[in-house]
Structure 1
Amino acid sequence: MSSAFAHLTARPIAPTDAAGLSALLNAIEAVDVFGEYYSEEDAAEQINAPLLDLGRGTVGLFDGDLMVGYSSAAHQPRAEGVHRVTLSGGVHPDHRRRGLGTGLLAAGIACARTLHALHHPALPLAVAVRNNARNAGALACYRAAGMTLSGSSSHLRRPLDAGVADVPVPEGHTVEAYAAGNDADFHLTSDEAFLESRGGVPMPPERWRELLGWQAFRPDLSFLLREDGSGAAAGMVLVFSWDADTEATGVRDAQILRIGTRPGHRGRGVASALLGHALRAAQDAGFDRVSLDVDAEELPRAHGLFERAGFTVARTEVVHTLEFTGRAQHPTG
Structure 2
Amino acid sequence: MSTVDLEPLAVRAAAPAELPALPADAGLSWRPLTPGDVPAWYALCSVVDDHDDAIERVAEYELVDRFKGTWRDPARDSIAGFDADGNVRAYAWVDFRSVTEGTHAPTLFGAVHPEYRRRGIGQALLAWSEARGRQQLAATTVNLPARIRVYVDEHHAAARRLAEAAGFTAIRWFVVMRRDLGVALPAGDVPDGLRIEPYSKERDEDIRVTHNESFARDHWGSSPIDAEAWALNVVGGEKFRPDWSFVAVEEATGRVVGYLMSGAYDQDWEPQGFTEGWTDLVSVLREWRGRGLAGALLTAAMRAYAAGGMQYAGLDVDTDNPTGALGVYTRLGYERMQGSLLLTKEI
- Does the TM-score normalized on the shorter chain lie above 0.5? yes
Q: For the residues of structure 1 that align with 2:224 and 2:118, how far apart are their CA atoms?
A: 40
- Tell me which residue corresponds to 2:134: 113
What's the CA shift for 1:172? 2.1
- Correspondent of 2:329 among 292, 301, 306: 306
Question: What amino acid sits opposite 2:289 in the alignment?
Answer: R
Q: For the residues of structure 1 that align with 2:206 and 2:156, how far apart are their CA atoms?
A: 39
Alignment of 1:1-333 (within 5 A): 1-5=22-26, 7-64=27-84, 65-80=86-101, 82-120=103-141, 122-123=143-144, 125-194=146-215, 195-197=217-219, 201-211=223-233, 212-246=235-269, 251-298=274-321, 301-324=324-347
Q: For the residues of structure 2 that align with 1:280 and 1:37, how far apart are their CA atoms?
A: 25
What's the CA shift for 1:254? 1.4
**3-state DSSP class of the match of 1:210?**
helix
**3-state DSSP class of the match of 1:119?**
coil
Is the CA contact (8 Å cut-off) linking 2:55 and 2:338 kept in structure 1? no
- Tell me which residue corresponds to 1:327: none
Provide Cα deviations, 1:29-65, integer angstroms capped at 9, x if missing partner.
1122233233433321234354332012111122231
Over 3 Å counting, the alpha-carbon distance change for 1:162 and 1:82 in structure 2 is closer
- Tell me which residue corresponds to 1:329: none
Is the CA contact (8 Å cut-off) linking 1:56 and 1:115 kept in structure 2? no
Over 3 Å counting, the alpha-carbon distance change for 1:51 and 1:160 in structure 2 is farther
Over 3 Å counting, the alpha-carbon distance change for 1:178 and 1:50 in structure 2 is farther
Over 3 Å counting, the alpha-carbon distance change for 1:133 and 1:79 in structure 2 is farther
Over 3 Å counting, the alpha-carbon distance change for 1:249 and 1:297 in structure 2 is closer
**3-state DSSP class of the match of 1:139?**
helix
Q: For the residues of structure 1 that align with 2:293 and 2:38, how far apart are their CA atoms?
A: 40
What's the CA shift for 1:300? 8.1
What's the CA shift for 1:81? 6.0
Q: Give the number of aligned pairs.
A: 323
Question: What amino acid sits opposite 1:57 in the alignment?
Answer: D
Provide Cα deviations, 1:268-292, integer angstroms capped at 9, x if missing partner.
1110110111111110111122111
Is the CA contact (8 Å cut-off) linking 1:32 and 1:132 kept in structure 2? no
Over 3 Å counting, the alpha-carbon distance change for 1:234 and 1:126 in structure 2 is same
Q: For the residues of structure 2 that align with 1:163 and 1:299, how far apart are their CA atoms?
A: 28
Q: For the residues of structure 2 that align with 1:178 and 1:227, how far apart are their CA atoms?
A: 15
Question: What amino acid sits opposite 2:28 in the alignment?
Answer: L
Moved more, 23-32 or 126-135: 23-32
Task: Give the TM-score normalised by structure 2.
Answer: 0.87
What's the CA shift for 1:20? 1.5
Q: For the residues of structure 2 that align with 1:75 and 1:47, how far apart are their CA atoms?
A: 13
Provide Cα deviations, 1:280-307, integer angstroms capped at 9, x if missing partner.
1110111122111111211782222111
Provide Cα deviations, 1:120-163, integer angstroms capped at 9, x if missing partner.
47445411100011212111111111111121111111122322
What are structure 1's unaligned runs of at least 5 residues?
325-333
Q: For the residues of structure 2 that align with 1:121 and 1:174, how far apart are their CA atoms?
A: 39
Over 3 Å counting, the alpha-carbon distance change for 1:176 and 1:124 in structure 2 is closer
**3-state DSSP class of the match of 1:274?**
helix
Q: For the residues of structure 2 that align with 1:39 and 1:170, how far apart are their CA atoms?
A: 38
- Tell me which residue corresponds to 1:328: none
Over 3 Å counting, the alpha-carbon distance change for 1:187 and 1:320 in structure 2 is same
Question: What amino acid sits opposite 2:50 in the alignment?
Answer: A
Is the CA contact (8 Å cut-off) linking 1:173 and 1:227 kept in structure 2? yes
Over 3 Å counting, the alpha-carbon distance change for 1:230 and 1:121 in structure 2 is closer
**3-state DSSP class of the match of 2:197?**
strand
**3-state DSSP class of the match of 1:239?**
strand
Task: Give the TM-score normalised by structure 1.
Answer: 0.90
**3-state DSSP class of the match of 1:191?**
helix
Is the CA contact (8 Å cut-off) linking 2:319 and 2:326 kept in structure 1? no
Please give the root-mean-square deviation of Cα atoms over the aligned residues, in Å: 2.0
Moved more, 84-93 or 210-219: 84-93
What are structure 2's unaligned runs of at least 5 residues?
1-21
Is the CA contact (8 Å cut-off) linking 2:153 and 2:341 kept in structure 1? yes
Is the CA contact (8 Å cut-off) linking 1:79 and 1:120 kept in structure 2? no
What's the CA shift for 1:202? 1.7
Is the CA contact (8 Å cut-off) linking 2:101 and 2:224 kept in structure 1? no
Q: For the residues of structure 2 that align with 1:161 and 1:100, how far apart are their CA atoms?
A: 46
Q: For the residues of structure 2 that align with 1:246 and 1:135, how far apart are their CA atoms?
A: 20
